């Protein structure tokens, strides 16, 4: 009795071992003969809700035989249709290989002839897809009845802009203005002509440094509170002011009372020269030009820049030079004038 039980246990053990062995062989067989493949879809991006014919291609592990098939399945939301010209020659060798059957979201190609070039040229199927905006998986599995060397794979098809990211940013407008000395070593709000004499022309100068990211540049305007004067205001021709130079008269000459400015406009940081103002009788492209007076002339355009400017060097800033001389009749005293600049960017 004990011998019979022992034999039964041994048989059951052998059977269990053999069953596990067969299962392992089966799984190994299917693992070896199932191959993942890369898929190419052309085009990979479709317009939303627009029927589009695409080519679906991959290179199989082995050739197809009569009765083999390839099943291509689209994700929910995709409508699958046949192309206007159905796929007959799947491997591109010039002979018909089969035909397609479409059911719901599944395209199945049935081979009625054996292929000879599929493993080198691949198989290509024409399918029409329609879908609303989204990203959809399009997978395939083939079924080779003879050698069971089945392939599988898949990819995504992109419809509309579901695979796009719109990146936005904002650049704030920049406009800066500072008055610097001629050497650009410090800021200043004064321009000292010193002691005026009939024997010479006195000068003082400073820079207008303007920075902006405006693509159309900026405009600089100029205005003063009156003549360079000892007393009173406005353009009063008397002995208590320095008469403004007459526009177009030429340079200021020592001994002939006159006062004006000379502008060196230079350029912007992108190398575009500025345009010196020629505004109603005030031509700042000349060497010596009068300064407009509030209530008499109104604000005038000193110069215009048409591109952005980063005034990191002196050549990207305008140089203003004040020039004055007197005659023997100019009265003694301290003379002063306030010149005001305004900057407007063309944003």
5 lies in some domain:
no
Distance CA 103, CA 63 (A): 25
> Would you say residue 1 has pLDDT above 90?
no
Distance CA 236, CA 94 (A): 101
Distance CA 32, CA 37 (A): 14
The residue assigned the tokens 């062989």 is: 25
- Of residues 250 and 325, more confidence is placed in 325
Q: Say if residue 179 is in the same domain as residue 147.
A: no
Distance CA 185, CA 320 (A): 16
- Of residues 186 and 5, more confidence is placed in 186
> Would you say residue 34 has pLDDT above 60?
no
What is the count of structural domains for the chain? Answer: 2
Per-residue pLDDT at 12:
52
The residue out of 105, 133, 159 marking a domain boundary is 159
The residue out of 130, 159, 188 marking a domain boundary is 159
Q: Say if residue 62 is in the same domain as residue 96.
A: yes
303 lies in some domain:
yes
Q: Say if residue 50 is in the same domain as residue 198.
A: no
> Would you say residue 26 has pLDDT above 60?
no
Other residues' Cβ atoms within 10 Å of the Cβ of residue 179: 16
95 lies in some domain:
yes
What pTM does this model have? 0.67
> Would you say residue 28 has pLDDT above 60?
no
> Would you say residue 11 has pLDDT above 80?
no
| CATH code where residue 48 lies | 2.60.40.1280
306-316 pLDDT, tens digit per residue, is 999 999 999 99
80-98 pLDDT, tens digit per residue, is 999 999 999 999 999 999 9
Question: Residue 146 belongs to what H/E stretch?
Answer: none
22 lies in some domain:
no
Per-residue pLDDT at 149:
78
The residue out of 135, 159, 183 marking a domain boundary is 159
Q: What is the mean pLDDT of residues 226-245?
A: 79
Q: Say if residue 220 is in the same domain as residue 76.
A: no
> Would you say residue 29 has pLDDT above 60?
no
Across the beta sheet with 339-345, the strand order is 275-276, 300-305, 218-224, 339-345
20 lies in some domain:
no
Across the beta sheet with 202-212, the strand order is 175-181, 202-212, 318-325, 258-264
Per-residue pLDDT at 147:
65
> Would you say residue 258 has pLDDT above 90?
yes
Residue 118, C-beta contacts closer than 8 angstroms, at least 6 positions apart: 59, 60, 63, 64, 90, 91
Q: Say if residue 99 is in the same domain as residue 132.
A: yes
Q: Say if residue 253 is in the same domain as residue 151.
A: no
Q: Say if residue 274 is in the same domain as residue 189.
A: yes
3-state secondary structure of 63: coil
Given a contact cutoff of 8 angstroms between Cβ atoms, the answer to whether 195 and 204 are in contact is no
6 lies in some domain:
no
Q: Say if residue 294 is in the same domain as residue 332.
A: yes
Per-residue pLDDT at 59:
97
Distances (CA, A) of 77 to 82, 105, 118: 17, 9, 31
Per-residue pLDDT at 235:
56
> Would you say residue 213 has pLDDT above 60?
yes
Whole-number percent of the chain with pLDDT over 90 = 80
Domain holding 67, by residue range, is 37-159
325 lies in some domain:
yes
Residue 187 structure tokens: 């800021």
Helix residue ranges per DSSP H, the chain = 2-32, 118-121
8 lies in some domain:
no
Would you mind telling me the total number of residues written for the chain in this entry?
347
Distance CA 223, CA 343 (A): 12
């Amino acid at each position: 009795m004990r011998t019979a039980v022992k034999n039964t246990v041994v048989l059951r053990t052998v059977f269990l071992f053999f069953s596990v062995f067969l299962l392992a062989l089966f799984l190994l067989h299917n693992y070896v003969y199932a191959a993942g493949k890369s898929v190419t879809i052309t085009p990979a991006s479709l317009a939303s809700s627009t029927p589009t014919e695409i080519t679906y291609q991959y290179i199989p592990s082995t050739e197809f035989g009569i009765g083999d098939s390839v099943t291509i399945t689209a994700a929910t939301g995709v409508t699958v249709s046949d192309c206007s010209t159905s796929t007959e020659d799947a491997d591109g060798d010039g002979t018909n290989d089969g035909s397609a059957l479409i059911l719901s979201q599944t395209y199945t190609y049935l081979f009625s002839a054996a292929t000879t070039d599929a493993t080198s040229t691949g198989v290509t199927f024409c399918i029409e897809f329609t879908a609303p905006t989204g990203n959809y998986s399009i997978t395939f599995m083939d079924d080779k009845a003879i050698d069971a060397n089945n392939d599988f794979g898949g990819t995504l098809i992109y419809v509309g802009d579901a695979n796009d990211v719109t990146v936005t940013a904002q650049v704030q407008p920049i406009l800066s203005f500072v008055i610097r000395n001629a050497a650009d070593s410090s800021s200043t709000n004064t321009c000292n002509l010193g002691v005026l004499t009939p024997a010479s022309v006195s000068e003082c100068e400073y820079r207008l440094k303007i920075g902006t990211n405006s693509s159309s540049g900026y405009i600089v305007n100029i205005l003063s509170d009156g003549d360079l004067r000892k007393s009173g205001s406005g353009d009063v021709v008397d002995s208590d002011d320095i008469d403004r130079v007459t526009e177009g008269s030429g340079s200021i000459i020592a001994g002939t009372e006159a006062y004006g400015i000379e502008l060196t406009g230079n350029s912007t940081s992108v190398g575009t020269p500025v345009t010196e103002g020629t505004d109603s009788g005030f031509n700042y492209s000349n060497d010596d030009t009068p300064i407009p007076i509030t209530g008499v002339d109104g604000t005038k355009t000193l110069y215009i820049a048409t591109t952005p400017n980063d005034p990191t060097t002196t050549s990207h800033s305008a140089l203003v030079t004040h020039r004055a001389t007197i005659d023997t009749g100019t009265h003694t005293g301290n003379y002063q004038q306030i010149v005001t600049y305004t900057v407007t960017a063309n944003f």
